[in-house]
Amino acid sequence: MNTTKKLAIVTGGGSGIGFAIATQFVQHDIYTVLVGRDEQKLRRACEELGPNSECYSCDLSDLHAIPVMVDRIIARYGHIDILVNNAGINMKKSFTDVTDDEFQAIMQINVTAVFALSREVVKHQLDKKVGGCIINISSMASQYGIPKVIAYTASKSAIEGMTKAMATELSPYGIRINCIAPGFIATDMSAKALDADPERKAKALGRTPLGYLGQPADIGAAALFLASDAAQYITGVVLPVDGGNAVGF
Ligand code: NAP
């Protein structure tokens, strides 16, 4: 079932920002494979997106499952043009209460799995010699210091470093690597972090010049742009999509 359409993988595509990115891709005729753990959620998302999408259930913390998934997608479609490393987890806890295992669990999903999946996809892109595009998702936590999210901050800072290193190494092969740093976007993840903590929410909005939470579709639009030929000369950037939050006073 090789497809002539561009093929994208969006991790965490069943909800929030990932679903919004998948929606933009599908609407622009990019065949999109949604990856996540919750099969029911993924299936519902695919039903909503229609025939230009399919889902693949995979726990990305299981690093052995990643090459198997990539090989299966390649066997089915022959190519992977776009990878969006969107799946991520957060944990809000005071610095000294975070255990080594908790720290490691965040790093495993937010960094190690991103590395492992990117590596497997890039191997195929290098084989096919047709270039490719990878979009990573970081956070305001890597732009400035946010308390009580130490592991998340370490992971998202690593993502930005990896973006630059990969962009430099892979540019000669026509593979572009960029990163989107979302500000405070209305999803389940941000609701968990902000709704029970009105002071934090007020602080987040207080330093967002546009004055409101972003929508997942705002990130979807940026991802579509970075994945498109209109961004063919853009690689290695971290693009804040944040209503000005990174620069607000
Ligand atoms: P979300 O709705 O909680 O989405 C996270 C997604 O990651 C889920 O679809 C989840 O799918 C997937 N996921 C988590 N662990 C996984 C695992 N082990 N294997 C496979 N998939 C896994 O949160 P979101 O707000 O849309 O966040 C998406 C990305 O944006 C994250 O990287 C987050 O750090 C980043 N971000 C969000 C905000 C914000 O304000 N919302 C701000 C900055 C950055 P399953 O449940 O199916 O596993």
Question: H/E/C letters for each residue in 96-110?
Answer: HHCCHHHHHHHHHHH
For ligand 1, the distance from its centroid to the CA atom of residue 135, given in whole angstroms, is 14
Q: Is the CB of 89 under 6 A from ligand 1?
A: yes
Mean pLDDT for 61-84 is 98
Is the C-beta atom of 185 inside 6 A of ligand 1? Answer: yes
Band of pLDDT at residue 235, cut at 50, 70 and 90 = very high
Which of 9, 17, 48, 108 best tests ligand 1's pocket when mutated (most atoms within 8 Å of CB)?
17
pTM (2 decimals)?
A: 0.98
CA distance 92 to 51: 38
Cβ neighbourhood burial of 50 (10 Å; 0-12, 13-18, 19+): exposed
**Confidence (pLDDT) at 189:** 87
| pLDDT band at 202; cut points 50, 70, 90 | very high
Query: In this predicted structure, what is the pLDDT of residue 4?
Result: 80
- CATH architecture of the domain with residue range 6-185+215-244: 3-Layer(aba) Sandwich (3.40)
Q: Which residues are catalytic?
A: 152
- The CA–CA distances, whole Å, from 112 to 20, 34, 143, 175, 233 equal 24, 19, 21, 20, 28
Is the CB of 12 within 6 Å of ligand 1? yes
The yes-or-no verdict on residue 163 having pLDDT over 60 is yes
- As a whole number, the mean pLDDT across the chain is 96
Please, are residues 110 and 89 in contact by the beta-carbon 8 Å criterion? yes
pLDDT of res. 2: 53
C-beta separation of 223 from 22 below 8 A = no
DSSP readout, 128-156? HTS-EEEEEE--GGGTS--TT-HHHHHHH
Judged by DSSP in three states, 95 sits in helix
